[in-house]
Structure 1
Amino acid sequence: MLIVTVDEFKKMIRNNDERIEEVDIVTTGTCGIMSGTLGIFHIPFNEIFKRAEKIFLDNIEGKVGVCPNEYLGKVDALFYGEVGFLFKRLVRGEELEAKAIADGKVYRNIVNIDELPTAKMLGTRMAFKNYMAFTNLGEPVKTIFHRFELKRGEATFSGCGEINPLENMVIKSEKDIIGKKALLNGAEALILGFGTRSSLERPNIMISADMKEMDSYYLGGFYTSGGIEIYNTVAIAVDVREHREALMKLDKDIALPLVNIFGREIIDKGKYSEVWEDVDLRPKVHVERCKNCKSCVSEISCPTEAIKRENGKIKISEDCFGCGVCKICPYNVFEIKLGSICGIPIVCRQSDRKRALDLAKELKRRLKDETKENRDY
């Protein structure tokens, strides 16, 4: 069985490689802001109380429920909203303070992910079959689609284009995806069906996985001018025999609608090739240009907190998302090509092809290992 990653397969198409006929499985991936993400936790405490009225993890409030767990000193809880950095810290293995309020008394416990009997992630709307680009025809506005206010003459976008799993699949009904396996942030996941706001024209999936098996590299928080968002990474294996027609599409074949942030009416239609071809997935850092400013605007503005200064030197960690916001540096310490859409320059990317391709590569490795084990067995 020949298994290749989606970028390897697309290169075969571009190079008219005859070996493409031998490919059986293509591992696809996407990474981006996925707002409809929630955590389902069972949180233990050291004292017994009737039932919690409120629940917090490191001062971020969750929702108590669904099971009351009366007189057990345990709380079932849902956490969603501005949880990106919280979930990353949890998956990373950090200790967090759990706080429950019951009958006017506060109960506390220090927990890490291994001490939570249940820690599941549910994505209610993930891996959109690509998305859209946003621009502004009015006054500057705070929005979840940009780190700063989005101004006239600027554009942002989401979607991984030709490597997106659902873009590479022929989906005729929900039955085509229910029960299919995937990777969610490095953990084996199960696709539960279509997600919210899904349609056959623009499908997305509902997916679940155990957070204890996740790799913190693949998820995290993302600051926007409209609040904190969360990004996730999804990889799915696609059978060439079933989905060949969809797999043959390239970025130039995939529409990227440009819409007005107010009302979402379509202004123009571009292609994903405009924003993903001949661009940089990560910034180049020109350390020699750094003036060691007292307040580094790029460090302060980084949506994923990836830019740090150590001993007077600027560094970017693996938390970098490749969004391009760091270009704000007045001394051009950070250089990154982002492309444009319909002639409007991109100022912020909210999808990360590097992480998507990393997870697609990891899925290929696991599938090859499984194939080898089965053969040896």
Structure 2
Amino acid sequence: MKIVTVDKLKKMIRNNEDISEIDIVTTATCGIMSGTMAVFHIPFNDKFRKAEKIYLDGYKGFVGPCPNEYLGKVDAVFFRNGFLFKRLVKGEELEAKVLADNKYYNNIITINDLQKAEMIGTRMCFKNYSAITNLSDKPVKTIFHRLPLKRGEASFSGCGEFNPLENMVIKNEKDLIGKRALLNGADALILGFGTRASLEKPNLMISADMKEMDSYYLGGFLTGDGEEVFNTVAIAVDVKQHIEALKKLDKDIALPLVNIFGREIIDISNYGEVWENVDLRPKLHKDRCKNCKNCLAEEYCPTMAIKKINGEIKISKDCFGCGICSICPHGVFEIKLGSICGIPITCRQSDRKRALDLAKELKKRLEKSFIF
């Protein structure tokens, strides 16, 4: 059984090498995935009749669907809480607080205290994205950027030729149901199409146990319109079954450029323009740092990866490669993001480095035990 990661396969295709001897390709994508929610079964030290409101470290959840009357335990759903999910998966302690019968009950919990912690993505691995720009003279706050999107700027999502759905021929939703995957490092199950999905524009509904996840692969991403969740998904693709789709390269995958107002298509480019000859991570030039009282890169980093520690600027592994840190006026952070249709990219909402890391992890697991 010969298994390769998606980057290796695409390199072979570019070099006109024979891929007929390859059996499995591990594909992956990482990016903001709206519709990510978690279902928790949260214990408390006291018993109460019926929970009315619930919070985890100040984040509001939704009680239900099971009432769990007089059990001192609550089923709850949380979403758009990427930073909370990351802390939970890391094993950090969180304060659970519930309102019942006009009284608050509290408990300090970790993920190991939860009988169930299941992540369900209702719209993951989206195959068809658009790049966004602003044709007006008025900057606009948007989920597609960390900062107000100005005229002459663009943002985009999607891992292009790495994305599992770009590398599969899907003729029916039944082709997907029950297929296994990795979601943030955890063994996951594909439930079928996600919301707003179609054969032309598919995405996936995926479920996995958060107790098995690796916190590196998920987290929060601050946008101009609030907090979102980023996830990483890897899927094994059978070469013989999907060979035509696997031959697609970035340049073959369309990426429309649309106006943020009205979403009319301005032009159609491709993922080769935004992913070729770019940097996946910023270069840090500490010698250029002026020790500004308010570090703009630290303040606006969407994943809070930039920190000043003892007067020294550092980038943690939470870095997403989005490019927002280039806001620094002194050039401390340098990253090449490329452009689309002549418009410079100023925010990237997908991360090829994390995607490839999980594709490599899936390859290792398949080589140890072929279970996918």
Q: TM-score range by the shorter chain?
A: over 0.9
* Contact map agreement 1:130 1:161 (CA 8 A) in 2: no
Match of 2:264 in 1: 265
1:26-45 pair list within 5 angstroms: 26-45=25-44
- State the one-letter code of the partner of 1:4: V
Task: Structure 2: state its 5+ residue gaps.
Answer: none
For normalisation by structure 1, the TM-score amounts to: 0.97
Question: Whole-Å Cα distance in 1 between the matches of residues 16 and 33 of structure 2?
Answer: 35
Report the counterpart of residue 215 of structure 2 in structure 1: 216
Distance in 1 (alpha carbons) for counterparts of 2:124 and 2:151: 29
Q: Does 1:128 align with 2:157?
A: no
- Which residue type is aligned with residue 349 of structure 2? Q
Distance in 1 of aligned mates of 2:116 and 2:263: 39
Q: SS of the residue aligned with 1:22?
A: coil
What is the deviation of 1:311?
2.1
Separation of aligned partners in 2, 1:201 and 1:265: 19
1:309 Cα shift?
A: 1.3
2:101 is matched with which residue: 99, 103, 108? Answer: 103
SS at 1:156 equivalent: strand
Is the Cα–Cα contact under 8 Å of residues 4 and 364 in structure 1 kept in the other structure?
yes
TM-superposition CA deviations, 1:240-271 (whole Å, max 9, x none): 01000000000000000101111211111001
Query: CA deviation digits over 1:329-360, x for unaligned, max 9?
Result: 00001000001011110000000000000000
**Residue type of the alignment partner of 2:15:** N
What amino acid is aligned across from residue 98 of structure 2 in structure 1? A
Shift of 1:22: 0.8
Query: In structure 2, what is the equivalent of residue 84 of structure 1?
Result: 82
Whether 2:163 is the aligned partner of 1:148: answer: no
Aligned partner of 2:225 in structure 1 is: 226
Counterpart code for 1:74: K
**1:9 deviation in Å?**
0.3
Conservation of the 8 A alpha-carbon contact between 1:130 and 1:158? no
Name the SS for the 1:21 alignment partner: coil
> 1: distance between equivalents of 2:270 and 2:62?
41
SS in 2 for 1:263: coil
Aligned to 1:94: 92
Moved more, 131-140 or 187-196: 131-140
Unaligned runs of 5+ in 1: none
CA displacement 1:116-141 (0-9 Å, x = unmatched) = 00000000000001411000112211
Question: Partners of 2:184 and 2:62 in 1: how far apart?
Answer: 24
SS of 1:360's partner is: helix
Q: What residue in structure 2 maps to residue 46 of structure 1?
A: 45
| Deviation per residue, 1:183-206 (Å, 9 max, x gap) | 000000000000001011110000
Q: What is the alpha-carbon distance in structure 2 between the residues aligned to residue 237 and residue 22 of structure 1?
A: 16
Deviation at 1:32, TM superposition (A): 0.3
Which stretch of the first structure deviates more once superposed, 311-320 or 23-32?
311-320
Q: SS at 2:350's partner residue?
A: coil
Secondary structure of 2:369's match?
helix
SS at match of 1:153: coil
Match of 1:368 in 2: 367
**Which residue is 2:162 aligned to?**
163
Q: Given residue 328 of structure 1, which amino acid in structure 2 is its aligned partner?
A: I
Task: Say if 2:198 is the partner of 1:199.
Answer: yes
Structure 2 residue aligned with 1:187: 186
Aligned to 1:120, the other structure's residue is in SS state strand
Look up the match of 1:350: 349
Q: Percent identity?
A: 75
For residue 314 of structure 1, report the CA deviation from its aligned partner.
1.0
* CA distance in structure 2 between the partners assigned to 1:72 and 1:308 by the alignment: 43
Q: Deviation per CA, 1:56-111, whole angstroms, max 9, x where unpaired?
A: 00011100000000111110000013x01000000010000000000000000000
Specify the SS of the correspondent of 1:357: helix
- Structure-2 separation of matches of 1:197 and 1:345: 29
- Runs in 1 of length 4+ with deviation above 6 angstroms? none
Conserved 8 A contact 1:326-1:334: yes
Identify the residue that residue 7 of structure 1 maps to in structure 2.
7
Code of the residue aligned with 1:184 in structure 2: it is L
Q: TM-score normalized by structure 2?
A: 0.98
